[in-house]
Every structure is written in C-alpha cells, then in structure tokens.
Amino acid sequence: MPELPEVEVVRRGLEAHVLGHPIRRVEVLHPRPVRRHAGGPADFAARLTGRTFTAAHRRGKYLWLVLDHGDALLGHLGMSGQLLVQPPGVPDERHLRVRFGLADDLELRFVDQRMFGGLAISDGGATLPPEIAHIARDPLDGAFDDAAFVRRVRRSDSAIKRLLLNQSIVSGVGNIYANEGLWLARVHGERPGSRLRASDVDAVLAGCRHVMMQALDQGGTSFDALYVNINGQSGYFDRSLEAYGREALPCSRCGTPISRVTFMNRSSFFCPVCQPVPRRRRQPGNQAGNQAGKTRQAIGRQLGGATSFT
C-alpha cells in the first residue's frame, strides 16, 4: 500500500501538472472507484465537468484537489491506486477506472487494479473535507503538535506500534515507517506507551519523521510494481531500509540478525539486541497469589513445617 511519502509525491505531482486546467470531460469506466459518491457515476461526471482544480492538499494518506466554488475531489489510493497525468496519445492502462480530460489535451487518470481506493466529491471540502476531519495530522505537517502526541502516548497502555498506526492519534505512519522509526529509536514496538519516557516517545517520533523525509527525498518506498507516482515512476527507498523486510539479515548497528514477528496482522521487524522485547508485568492477581503463598509458608514454618491448610 502506498504510504505517506508516496502520497505526498503524488500530491506534488498533481500540484505541478493539473492545477488551472479546466476539466472538459469525465469518464467513469467502472462504478466501484466512485462508490462513495452518493449521486452515482453520472452525477459524479456531470458535477466535475467544466470545473477547475485550484489546489492540491493531503491529510495523512488522503488527497484532495480543491475545485473552484469551494468543493473538493477527495481521493484515497487504497492498495493499488495510481493517479497518472498522461499527454495525448498514450494508450489506456489496463486497469484504468476514471478519466479526466483536461485542457491542452492532458488526461488525469485514476488507475486501480484491486479497486480498494476511490474518488468522491466533498461538498464544501476545500479547506478540509468533513469526511476525513477525524484523521490526525501527520509528522510532516508543520502544525503537528509533538508535545500533545507525547502526552497522548504516555497516557496509553497500548503498544507503541499500535499507537503509531492509529490514524486518530497520528496519520500517515504505515507499517514500513513504523518499523523503521522504532528501529532508529531503539524501541520495541510492543512496549506500552505508559512505560516509555518522554524522551523515548520523542525519539520514536523523530525516527519516523526522519525515515519519512528520507523516503520523500527518494520518491517513496515501493515493493509493488502497482505503485507508481504521477509520472509513472516507482519509488526506490526500499534499498535504504534498516529493519523492514530484513529478517535474518544482520542489524547494521550491532550485527544481530533481524527478527520478524506477527503484530496486528502485520509483520514487525526489529533487532532483538537494539530493541529488547519488553518484560511482561505481573498481573495484580498473580502478585496477590504469590504473596499469599509466601504467608502460608511462613505460618507453616512457625507451626513445625505444615504448609497445607483447609
């Protein structure tokens, strides 16, 4: 699945190539990608024809293109979605789903093999579509509140990796970048937030931000030929990963083989030396039971060795 840097690369491409070009025609070639538009494919096409994209924004992994008169075209790439700008004469892609014919004979194409992604018109959504108002800001957002994130994490008993993947707390950190950020911070993904120091949480956030900025500079992380940016080019940051996908390979810091475990139906990769597995806390009930056992043994010794009571 495209992660935040890939989506930001696409947003920048849209900003550079489609703004200010009136939409001359819209063809919905398959209804599923516009399933979230209540009016259906015909209404979707009619409402966009003649409009102009004026800005391109992103919140987490969601994109929206602002339309004149204050509405927006909201999009999510899902597992395999692509937004491609093509010049005249380029043959249709095999999984082309929606075509926007722009001025100057350019085409903006939404291509999606698996069709988990989609497009919809967001009424009045120019500033922030209400459909995604619940999505938190991401670490690359200039308005992201680091201190509030640290407080939120340290109040929670959930595992830090689970919190990183919670889009209502921080958006855009997918499985790949969570693994990499935790490796950089030397923090195991199953450590509860409440058992982390503020400096630990700061380090995790800084690690995620660092690896995402690196990926953005290199065009994103691509393991799947389905992901390409707006110019049809794949990302290459996968060559620089330190933990994700490196099971049994040596950690570049200490040489210990990288381990892989299943966490939240995903694969987690970590160095067992640099990121030690957290020790389990004893349950209160077990502690009480252990204390009761010690008390019985002490009484038994006082009574001459008897340790069985009814």
Looking at the structure, do residues 241 and 161 belong to the same domain, yes or no? yes
* Residue 171 backbone phi and psi in degrees, to 5: -100, 160
Choose the catalytic residue: 51, 58, 59, 61: 61
CATH code, domain with 166:
1.10.8.50
Q: Where are the beta strands (DSSP E) in the chain?
A: 23-28, 53-59, 62-67, 72-76, 81-86, 96-102, 107-112, 118-122, 259-263, 266-270
At 48-84, the pLDDT tens digits run 999 999 999 999 999 999 999 999 999 999 988 999 9
Query: Of 296 and 209, which is predicted with more confidence?
Result: 209
Tell which of 72, 103, 132 closes a domain. 132
Q: Residue type for 298, please?
A: A
In the annotation, is 2 catalytic? yes
In the annotation, is 22 catalytic? no
Is 173 inside a domain boundary?
Answer: yes
At 197-219, the pLDDT tens digits run 999 999 999 999 999 998 888 76
In the annotation, is 250 catalytic? no
Tell which of 109, 132, 155 closes a domain. 132
Choose the catalytic residue: 2, 33, 41, 139: 2
How many domains are contained in the chain? Answer: 2
Distance between CA atoms of residues 70 and 298, nearest Å = 77
Choose the catalytic residue: 266, 272, 278, 296: 266
The single residue listed with the structure tokens 């909201």 is: 74
CATH code, domain with 67:
3.20.190.10
At 107-137, the pLDDT tens digits run 999 999 999 999 999 999 999 999 999 999 9
Looking at the structure, do residues 211 and 122 belong to the same domain, yes or no? no
Looking at the structure, do residues 177 and 266 belong to the same domain, yes or no? yes
At 8-31, the pLDDT tens digits run 888 998 999 999 999 999 999 999
Is 34 inside a domain boundary?
Answer: yes
Q: What is the pTM of this model?
A: 0.81
3-state secondary structure at position 291: helix
Looking at the structure, do residues 184 and 64 belong to the same domain, yes or no? no
Looking at the structure, do residues 115 and 225 belong to the same domain, yes or no? no
Domain range for 125 is 4-132
In the annotation, is 61 catalytic? yes
Looking at the structure, do residues 128 and 155 belong to the same domain, yes or no? no
